[in-house]
Amino acid sequence: MLDLSVIELPQNKIKKLGQELFALERLLEEFEKCVDQQKEQLEHLKELEVLSQKDLEDLQHMKDNIPPHLPRKMDTVRREPGMNHNEAADIQPQAENVKTTKKIFVREMEFITMSEFEGIPQYMKGRVSYDQLNAAVHSINAAVTAKYKILHQSVKTLNNHARKLHQRFKDQETKDTKGQHFVVEEDIREFTQTKVDKRFQGILNMLRHCQRLRELRGGGLTRYMLV
């Protein structure tokens, strides 16, 4: 007769080997998940680097549009070579006047949270990432800030280009925009490097879905009002 105890030993080994293989498969799956997460983080870092570069370009653009009558910060606190103490004293009161200027409150759009982003329908998001959506929020805020800084200045202090912008901003206002902050597509082109294309229109739809802005049409213009 065949002794069954002789067969049980290999079966136990096979069972143990199967358990070890299963454990290895789970470890491999966890490793692959970690690799995917690292890849996503790397993509986010690349997008943030692009966003930072755009920030620098926007700041340089705003710096170039500073009205000529306003002294730059370094010029008001640093004495140029060859300048005597009396000349430096003449400049100091001007610097103090700039410091005591009343701060202007400009409303900004809040950034989209991850939970809000995940709640946007996939057909609406398309291939737009979370960071790309918030990069658009940043650009809109930059345009709003630049626009209302010009509006809060006296027309007499503005250069020719800024005066034309000031007049355009006033012409675009209506009774429905009173007390509200809004921009149009032309403002985004003027103050940021963002391309106002079909993809950007899709981003605006997502921002409306997240209740960050609403549209106000009239006079051949679409005004994007901050909510």
What is the phi-psi region of residue 82: left when phi exceeds 0, alpha when psi lies from -120 to 50, beta otherwise?
left
The residue behind tokens 């009205």 is 67
Average pLDDT of the chain is: 79
Q: Return phi, psi of residue 181, to 5°.
A: -105, 130
Q: Do 194 and 139 touch, CB atoms closer than 8 A? A: yes
Domains of the chain: which residue ranges?
A: 18-62, 114-226
In the chain, the percentage of residues whose pLDDT exceeds 70 is 73
pLDDT at residue 70 in the model = 47
Judged by DSSP in three states, 95 sits in helix
Q: Do 19 and 101 touch, CB atoms closer than 8 A? A: no
pTM of the model: 0.56
Q: Do 200 and 194 touch, CB atoms closer than 8 A? A: yes
- The more confident residue out of 14 and 68 is 14
pLDDT at residue 115 in the model = 95
pLDDT at residue 164 in the model = 95
| Overall CATH class of domain 114-226 | mainly alpha
Give the pLDDT confidence of 119-144 residue by residue, as tens digits.
999 999 999 999 999 999 999 999 99
| Residues sharing a CB contact under 8 Å with residue 31, sequence separation 6 or more, in sequence order | none
Judged by DSSP in three states, 225 sits in strand
- The more confident residue out of 100 and 211 is 211
Residue 78 has pLDDT above 50, yes or no: no
CA separation (Å) from 207 to 67, 107, 203, 215?
33, 16, 6, 11
pLDDT at residue 154 in the model = 92
pLDDT at residue 9 in the model = 54
Give the pLDDT confidence of 161-176 residue by residue, as tens digits.
999 999 999 999 999 9
Confidence band of 100 (pLDDT split at 50, 70, 90): very low
Confidence band of 71 (pLDDT split at 50, 70, 90): very low
DSSP codes of every residue in 104-155: PP---PPPPPHHHHHTS-HHHHTT--HHHHHHHHHHHHHHHHHHHHHHTS-G
pLDDT at residue 91 in the model = 45
Dist CA 162 CA 175 (whole Å): 24
Give the pLDDT confidence of 4-62 residue by residue, as tens digits.
455 455 667 777 777 777 777 877 887 787 777 777 777 767 777 777 777 777 667 66
